Amino acid sequence: MTTPDITLYTYGTQNGVKISIILEELGIPYKAKQIELVKNEQYEPWFLKINPNSKIPAIVDHNKDDFPVFESTAIAIYLCENYDPEEKLLPKNDLKLRSQVIQWVMFEASGIAPAQGQSNIYCRYLPEKIPFVINNCAKEIRRLYGVLNKSLEGKEYLVGNKFTLADAMSYPVIRGHAFSGVESIDEFPNLKAWIERIDTRPATQKGLNVPVPDIMKNPEKLEEYGNLIQSYFKDRLNM
């Protein structure tokens, strides 16, 4: 396998750090470029050629004719399929295990990420607080956490009792549960222990601090990001 030559275009959001975590866990050399969301760099023509949806994260694989990949789930699978010969994060030969990993990856993409994203909007960014909507978002997040908590019973990780893409994709989002309106996860002891277990992984911790120090532990950066999102909604909704 040739030495990877990847550029990661990102920002320190829960979604952005998914890919830096995967790159670090796989030991893939890469260059990280922070997209200046405050300056609307994501809408510049050069970036739209990489991701026509104007979102982070995105990558360019320079070893494959500058092949661009966008959408975090698609990027994660692409990196594993091309640069994970030891099957660290995604099984290749055991098709049942592979399917189980991908099922949990899709569970995050279609369930956890949208639920917490919606909760972020209604809990933090919209000026009008609607208790019914906020409570309904929290209820759905707790339901999803319950699924994970039950699935982690007697296990350290979601699939095959080893850290895989299934864990890597959900962890950055779930660790930010308080930001999404779920202050405590004490009712989910297996899930809480899972977060604490992944917290100890050096590669994951390194990925959380790309391209800036961990936003979830940096009040100044978290406030900056919050102001950015608020201004986005004000512009889009004419609030």
Asked if the structure places residue 135 within a domain, the reply is yes
CATH number where 127 lies: 1.20.1050.10
> Residue 112 has which token pair?
């956890």
> How many domains does one find in the chain?
1
CA distances (Å), origin 123, targets 117, 136, 219: 10, 11, 17
Q: Tell me if 88 is assigned to some domain.
A: no
Domain-embedded: residue 59: no
Residue 213, in any domain of the structure: no
In a domain, 160, yes or no: yes
Q: Which domain holds residue 147?
A: 95-204
Q: Is residue 157 part of a domain?
A: yes
Q: Note the pLDDT tens digit of each residue in 153-207.
A: 999 999 999 999 999 999 999 999 988 889 999 999 999 999 999 999 999 999 9
| Higher per-residue pLDDT: 131 or 144 | 144
pLDDT tens column, 33-54:
999 987 899 999 999 999 999 9
Instruction: Please give the model's pTM, rounded to 2 decimal places.
Output: 0.93
Instruction: Say if residue 127's pLDDT is above 80.
Output: no
| 50 assigned to some structural domain | no
Q: Residue 69: which residues within 8 A CB-CB, separation 6 or more? A: 58, 59, 60, 61, 75, 78
Q: 70 lies in a domain?
A: no
Closest CA to 20 of 64, 56, 62, 68: 56
